[in-house]
Amino acid sequence: MPREDRDAAHGDAPPPTDGLSAFLARAHLAARNGHGPGTAMPPGAARLPGLDALTLNMLAHDGHLELLWCDPATGLGPELDNLQYALGDGPTLETARQGHPLTEPDLPTADPAHWPLFLPAAARTPAGSLIATPLRLGAATVGVLTGYRTTPGLLTPTQLRGLDRLGRVLLHLLYSELATPADGTGPATGLRLHRAEVHQATGFLANAPGIPMGQALLRLRAHAAAHDHSLPDLAQALLTRHLPSEALDPTR
């Protein structure tokens, strides 16, 4: 079976055959019409610069990263992003803090001291290499575009240029979406927080004993790590009362 047919059979349509320039031109047009990444970027964006997964995070006012877009929508990208958020360690977080791009061409052989929490967790996934690029408005880092491959190796110069162009378009889309009026007069752009339930559970956990939000998030992360749960699953259990908030109180 040809590759295109295999992709279609799995619901993963191939990227446009007319190349990166045409793909990005359509995204630019969507940005001018007020659309953001969630609705303007068709499936297949990650494969254009030779990657298997891409994630777009925005730096929130409290310093946390918010996952806003990923391609594909499920699988390796969201999995590795959620790991970094849960562990507080990893390349996306480092790029956001330092404001410079980084590359790890061979994750299985990377120095364990670099990301002591992330690397052992990433070893349980198919990830073989990664690249993280800061997205800037002027001198300020406002987000991070992180790409993953299941094979080791560096991107070619052409692929790096393609990733840079894609990052600039995504930044434009993100800016367009954030500038959309919140009163319903603008287009429905589909911006959503992928970890909305985690934020809701953090607020719920903080409210009962009256602890700071940061401490509540640390409790969520510690419980998830100790019991090998994902943060979204743990948040869902708390919000649906399947897990009492007292279970996360370290003083009990």
Q: What is the arrangement of strands in the sheet containing 65-71, beginning at the earlier edge strand?
A: 65-71, 53-59, 140-149, 129-137, 102-104
Encoded tokens for 84: 């970094």
Which pLDDT value is given to residue 29? 67
Amino acid identity of residue 115, one-letter, is W
The pLDDT confidence band at residue 247, using thresholds 50, 70 and 90, is: confident
Least confident of 123-127, 190-194, 242-246: 190-194
Q: Is 69 helix (H, G, I), strand (E, B) or coil?
A: strand
Give the CB-side neighbour count of residue 168, counting CA atoms within 13 A.
10
Which pLDDT value is given to residue 53? 97
Q: For residue 167, which of 75, 249, 48 has the smallest C-alpha distance?
A: 48
Asked if the model's pLDDT at residue 115 lies above 70, the reply is yes
Encoded tokens for 86: 């849960």
> Which residues, other chains included, contact 33 with Cβ-Cβ below 8 Å and sequence gap of 6+?
187
- Chain segment 33-66, per-residue pLDDT in tens: 655 555 556 678 899 899 999 999 987 766 778 8
The pLDDT > 90 percentage for the chain reads 35
Q: Where in the chain is the domain with CATH 3.30.450.40?
A: 3-178
Asked if residue 244 has a cis previous peptide bond (ω within 30° of 0), the answer is: no
- 3-178: what CATH class? alpha beta
Q: What is the mean pLDDT of the chain?
A: 76
Least confident of 7-16, 86-95, 104-113: 7-16
DSSP state of 237: H
Structural contact between residues 76 and 84, judged by C-beta atoms closer than 8 angstroms:
no
- Chain segment 208-221, per-residue pLDDT in tens: 667 776 677 667 77
- Chain segment 155-206, per-residue pLDDT in tens: 999 999 989 988 888 887 766 555 444 444 443 334 445 566 666 666 667 7
Asked if the model's pLDDT at residue 226 lies above 70, the reply is yes
Least confident of 73-87, 147-161, 196-210: 196-210
Measured CA distances, 183 to 180, 186, 188 (Å): 9, 8, 11
Q: For residue 21, which of 39, 54, 48 has the smallest C-alpha distance?
A: 48
Q: How far apart are CA 150 and CA 107, in angstroms?
A: 10
